[in-house]
Amino acid sequence: MTEQEPREPVRIRVGGTAGTAPYDVLIGRQLLGELPGLIGPDAKRVAVLHPEALSATGEAIREDLAAQGYEAIAVQLPNAEEAKSAEVAAYCWSVLGQTGFTRTDVIVGIGGGATTDLAGFVAATWLRGVRWVAVPTTVLGMVDAAVGGKTGINTAEGKNLVGAFHPPAGVLCDLASLESLPVHDYVSGLAEVIKAGFIADPVILDLVEADPQAARTPRGPHTAELIERSVRVKADVVSQDLKESGLREILNYGHTLAHAIEKNERYSWRHGAAVSVGMVFAAELGRLAGRLDDATADRHRAVLESVGLPLTYRGDQWPKLLETMKVDKKSRGDRLRFIVLAGLGKPVVLEAPDPAVLLAAYAEVAK
């Protein structure tokens, strides 16, 4: 086998729970030939949802599907988080209605995490649910957003507060698509990779720490392994708990503060940057609550900083962030709930922490 020949893709099965069918996440190169098999024989029409930045890619996929006999349409979305709105979803519903989209037809979402979130939500809501396939093109999309069946949009009140659990028919993670990512977008996705290392697979942390500069680029020697390990962590969790009734909450490590920061910045911050700050906060909260040892708490700062992720946020914003966190999806009534670590790979729920402890933890990330 020569270097140019694609290797067999890695297949990671996500088990069906809560009445849903299992599906595969494929990780490799030159994977678009797998798309018709995931679309299936019953579909007549396919809608390819893509961001403006990937208009050429979306059109190329549409042309390829049309050549194979599908009535394929390309639907262009705004870039990044601007796609995740009720207005954009309504536009997509209108297009589906005008093109006669039925229950046997299929949506394909190609792009970053925001695009696959929106594509999945449109699929979940059109005719109360049609099949969809995720083709994530970013690190964040591959290891987090496209795996697990969470779909959703943002509202003025917060991030992902409107959505549905609607797993895809399959996920195609073509590693070649990462090579054109801007470095800041690539590094942002590493926050979710590092999160998987802290909550479940410490080998991920070892690989990043062995060569942080190599971890910052898709051409690094461990790129495929980092993606695969991160996907396996999430696949294992959501196979046991699709609808976040228990175990799946651990995937929200660092996300309670992160979502509040994103809302406060009107979604101009990259998700991974906010998660990085959120994990440092969660580590300090775990330490102050007597759950987490100093070495593991300090390791958060070291590994996140080594790949160029932020560790701090504006100190004067705490009152606003606190109010936003009170409507976080993990909250129960007036009780704030956080995922913290009781050790490396040992996530636990910290419920209703003392406000003074919260403030002290935030002081450690305030600038």
From the list 166, 248, 270, 300, the catalytic residue is: 248
From the list 232, 259, 263, 337, the catalytic residue is: 259
Q: Give ∠ CA 30-140-31 in degrees, rounded to 5.
A: 10
Residue 259 annotated to the active site: yes
Residue 228 annotated to the active site: no
Residue 150 annotated to the active site: yes
Residue 271 annotated to the active site: yes
Type and span of the H or E element at 238: helix 223-240
The one-letter amino acid code at 127 reads L
Rounded Cα distance between 211 and 220, Å, is 9
Cβ-count burial 47-81 (b if 16+ within 10 Å, e if not): bbbbbebbeebbeebbebbeeeebebbbbbbbebb
- Is residue 263 within 8 Å of residue 324, measured between CB atoms? yes
From the list 34, 81, 228, 244, the catalytic residue is: 244
Instruction: State the number of CA atoms in the 13 A half-sphere of 28 facing the CB.
Output: 17
From the list 50, 84, 232, 255, the catalytic residue is: 255
The closest of 25, 224, 1 to 116, measured between CA atoms, is: 25
Residue 248 annotated to the active site: yes
The closest of 298, 224, 285, 289 to 254, measured between CA atoms, is: 285
Ramachandran bin of 76, using left for φ above 0, alpha for ψ from -120 to 50, beta for the remaining angles: beta
Q: Please give the C-alpha separations between residue 93 and each of 30, 45, 145, 192, 227, in angstroms, as whole numbers.
A: 31, 14, 21, 31, 33
From the list 84, 150, 166, 270, the catalytic residue is: 150
Rounded Cα distance between 278 and 255, Å, is 6
Measured in degrees and rounded to the nearest 5, phi and psi for residue 33 equal -65, -15
Residue 166 annotated to the active site: no
Beta bridge partners of 174: 28
Ramachandran bin of 46, using left for φ above 0, alpha for ψ from -120 to 50, beta for the remaining angles: beta
266, 269, 271, 277: CA torsion to nearest 10: -110
Tell me the catalytic residues: 128, 150, 192, 234, 244, 248, 252, 255, 259, 271
